[in-house]
Structure 1
């Protein structure tokens, strides 16, 4: 029994009363609705002329030859489609299951990372605490350098700047003054035309940690090879320019480093390695010495505690025996490096908001300080008296620098200008104005006193004879915080909050 239209066994067979032919019900009904005739003889028929055949058992559809007719093709495509949909549904189920497992694994990974980070933080804190304890154990701070609740008692306990110290200061000043009067511009000093061509030569990036990024201060040793940097990450680093690598990390402070210095007097019995100083917002000053011969790195040998607030700056006296520190507690202190003792601590009634920076005059007999209330003060070191004040700035004093000839003082504040003072006349003879939106964080002279570098939003170098701006370099990605000229002003070393050391110079070097 086959359908007269499809030639296939019908699933729902019907017979036409007029022609007697057997059809598939759904096919003949469609044909009648379209044409209204019997497909075999062309007679007019209706659905009422169809008679349903009740077969028992129902007709079993034989398996057709594959791809031999349109119906068989459609059936194959239908089967393939159904199989594809079933496989897709199964894959989606597996995909959802894998996503759930991956999400669970990622959650476990994140939890593990948080635990590891917390443990590493605790480990670093324990190491810093251990370093502090070791520093205190190695050299106990003397009673004179400990802050007590009664300032007057501190003054009485301190030895003061006695005659022996004053004699050393006078001898050093006399020697330096005589040599300075005869000194001329050194041969080989970089010319003005060459400085005008300064560009960025080298970038040393990724110094200090990313958690508290930024270089806050730097110093260059006598050889020009070792760079000492302090950072917001509570560490100081020593970087070897010649070997292009970090030599060691000085850990021990518990807050950001505010200033760093090399002593400038390498020890012959220790591979000519120099002594380093660091000051911090944790109220302390640390003295670092190289480890014993055969061991790499530095160790903290002294921990000077003489201030009750953040130590904002330190300055080294020309004798290489004394150190001065200033603090937000509105005091400055005079320390003996050899004994790590605080000889004198000076508090002025006129300073209420704290000191922000400090610098020794080249002769070593006067001291310059900047305050948070816009005033630059000049002090007589021997008498610890304020002998002059310059109050023409606005905002916190960010930097001061004495020229090597001892005649001029450059000062900068939070406003966008630098003032030049003649110390012989105690007057402001020149003002350098930078862009309105620019900042000035640091001023520094080269050793000859011919060039003045101004750093902040960018770096500018001025010629001290004409005060013309020789070059303006703005390759930095963040604010400049500190700078140092190289030998004969052949290059300028710059550090900033972008965690990079940059060297500006000329291509022929």
Structure 2
């Protein structure tokens, strides 16, 4: 008969009246003295509940002294008994710990499921709330000017603006399908020989916005200074001062669009302000111009983007999202609008409806987005990151990431040329140009310049690369003086 505690044959077996288990007498007596319970069932157990089992056994001699071999064997036996009791205790504790861990894991899994469900319901509620238009139609008295109120606007574009967006898309997408490389476009060999040929600088201490169009460069600074250069003529054309930091800029023909830290969006012609919008409750972090040149978009850290009608200088739509927005860009056809978020996600919306079409994960707060003229790809970079990722808007998940470049320094700006071949990447360590050969479907680096680029853009036919550094110094990279 085996002892239920030690698992060894019992020399003096006893049986429990309570559980019917067999034990070694000396082990169970020690257990009862310490615990007073049955070690198997946990029921109360006393010495009177033990019945001796009569078996044939060899009577061991009584050890005379501790210095004799029999006495040592007895000591070893006592040590073994203690070890057997401790081992049994450990097995019991291990079993209880396993049961407690199993219960804790079950409770944790249940909690995670509840949190996921509540998060999903919260996001659905936010999405539904963002589509509610709050307005006063005259059926109730207007609230007092000093009363607390919350306006949730999520508007659809007016029908005439929708027609503009759809018409622009139809015209541009049709011409893009078989568009050849424009005649006179610089070759990869030309660009590989680009170097800094001209520089011009002005009173901008900390550049925070860059825009280039037709040889004119507009730069805004954290001190509110706005400077317009003509790099080709190596001169500063004019400058003016805003009362707040400039956070974003863009050109619309001869007009300069400026986003500010207070959330306002202002439009200037020369040094004269011709329009101003104050729709954001946080800094305007990005502005983008629709290909039709009649629609303007701005994004903000207040989690919303706004569309403006440039003909009538009015807001025509606002859409709220679930994350602070950091930058934006229109698709070359204008039917899609991409917005980068502080959470590292790039959300792509339908311009006409404001509905989200798809999204891509960058893994870091989005700092720059630029679409390729092929209409399928866009490049994006994270704030403070040295990696540029190219995504295909036709795909999802990991398959959407077409290519990744490591630049060696933090990326500040991106620019794709009109021929869809050259991607310029500007950063703290300089300028890099990647060339895509459509015939071989391969990428190659054709230029590296050590001129630090806070902002950059291509000239017509990529014959020049216009670059600006943190201090507002503008340079032209080209093959000729």
How would you bin the TM-score normalised by the shorter chain?
Answer: 0.5 to 0.7
Task: Report whether the alignment pairs 1:433 with 2:406.
Answer: yes
Q: Provide the residue aligned with 2:249 in structure 1.
A: 260
Contact 1:216 1:495 in 2 (8 A): no
Q: Provide the residue aligned with 1:356 in structure 2.
A: 326
Contact 2:299 2:306 in 1 (8 A): yes
TM-score when normalising by structure 2: 0.65
Q: Provide the residue aligned with 1:295 in structure 2.
A: none
Contact 1:279 1:286 in 2 (8 A): yes
What is the 5 A alignment of 1:17-416?
150-152=149-151, 154-155=153-154, 160-205=156-201, 207-209=202-204, 213-222=205-214, 224=215, 226-252=216-242, 254-264=243-253, 274-290=254-270, 298-348=271-321, 350-351=322-323, 354-391=324-361, 393-414=362-383, 415-416=385-386
Task: Report whether the alignment pairs 1:472 with 2:448.
Answer: yes
Q: Deviation string for 1:147-171 (max 9, x for gaps)? A: x96444545xx6x402111111111
Q: 1:399 to 1:149 in 2, by over 3 A?
A: farther
Q: Deviation string for 1:477-504 (max 9, x for gaps)? A: xxx2211101111111111213211111
Number of residues of Structure 1 aligned to a counterpart in Structure 2: 326
Task: Kindly state the Cα deviation for residue 361 of structure 1 after the two structures are TM-superposed.
Answer: 0.2
Q: 1:161 to 1:150 in 2, by over 3 A?
A: farther
Task: Kindly state the Cα deviation for residue 196 of structure 1 after the two structures are TM-superposed.
Answer: 1.1
Q: 1:249 to 1:411 in 2, by over 3 A?
A: same
**Which of residues 440, 444, 456 is equivalent to 2:415?**
444
Q: 1:388 to 1:473 in 2, by over 3 A?
A: same
Q: 1:242 to 1:203 in 2, by over 3 A?
A: closer
Q: Provide the residue aligned with 1:24 in structure 2.
A: none
Q: Provide the residue aligned with 1:66 in structure 2.
A: none
**Which of residues 395, 420, 423 is equivalent to 2:390?**
420
Task: Kindly state the Cα deviation for residue 320 of structure 1 after the two structures are TM-superposed.
Answer: 1.0
Q: 1:441 to 1:475 in 2, by over 3 A?
A: closer
SS at structure 2 position matched to 1:488: helix
SS at structure 2 position matched to 1:464: strand
SS at structure 2 position matched to 1:468: strand
Task: Kindly state the Cα deviation for residue 339 of structure 1 after the two structures are TM-superposed.
Answer: 2.2
**CA-atom RMSD in angstroms:** 1.7
Superposition misfits of 4+ residues, deviation over 6 angstroms: none
Bigger CA radius of gyration:
1
Contact 1:217 1:495 in 2 (8 A): no
SS at structure 1 position matched to 2:293: coil
Q: 1:394 to 1:154 in 2, by over 3 A?
A: closer
Contact 1:208 1:215 in 2 (8 A): no
Q: Deviation string for 1:287-320 (max 9, x for gaps)? A: 1124xxxxxxx20021100000100010001111
Give the distance between the partners of 1:341 and 1:475, measured in 2 at CA. Answer: 40
Q: Deviation string for 1:384-414 (max 9, x for gaps)? A: 11111111x2321110110012111101113
Q: Deviation string for 1:345-381 (max 9, x for gaps)? A: 1112x32xx1110000000010111111111111111
Give the distance between the partners of 1:242 and 1:408, measured in 2 at CA. Answer: 31
Q: 1:234 to 1:149 in 2, by over 3 A?
A: farther
